[in-house]
Amino acid sequence: MTDSFDRFTRLAELVPIDKLSQLNVTVIGVGAIGRQVTLQLASLGARKLQLVDFDVVEASNITTQGYLHADLGLTKVEAAARSVRQIDPGIEVELVADRFRPQMTISDAVFCCVDSISARAAIWRSAGQHCGFWCDGRMLGEVSAPDVTELIS
Would residue 99 count as lying in a domain? Answer: yes
| Pair 83, 66: CB distance under 8 Å | no
Q: Which residue has the higher pLDDT, 153 or 15?
A: 15
Would residue 89 count as lying in a domain? Answer: yes
- Per-residue confidence at 19, pLDDT binned at 50, 70, 90? confident
Residue 98's domain is classified under what CATH number? 3.40.50.720
For residue 32, give its domain range: 15-152
What letter would DSSP give residue 130? G
| Alpha-carbon span 47 to 21, nearest angstrom | 5
Would residue 77 count as lying in a domain? Answer: yes
Would residue 8 count as lying in a domain? Answer: no
| Pair 72, 57: CB distance under 8 Å | yes
Give the strands of the sheet with 109-112, arranged side by side: 92-96, 48-52, 24-28, 109-112, 133-136, 143-144
Q: How many domains does the chain have?
A: 1
Would residue 134 count as lying in a domain? Answer: yes
User: 3-class DSSP state for residue 146?
Assistant: coil
Would residue 87 count as lying in a domain? Answer: yes
Would residue 68 count as lying in a domain? Answer: yes
Would residue 41 count as lying in a domain? Answer: yes
pLDDT at 101: 94
Could you report the per-residue pLDDT of 102-112, keeping only the tens digit for each?
Answer: 999 999 899 99
**Of the spans 40-44, 76-80, 136-140, which averages the highest pLDDT?**
76-80
Between the alpha carbon of residue 125 and those of residues 101, 113, 128, the distances in Å are: 11, 15, 6
| Alpha-carbon span 76 to 64, nearest angstrom | 13
Is 80 exceeded by the pLDDT of residue 97?
Answer: yes
User: Global pTM?
Assistant: 0.84
Could you report the per-residue pLDDT of 111-124, keeping only the tens digit for each?
Answer: 999 988 889 889 99
Residue 50 pairs in a beta bridge with: 26, 94
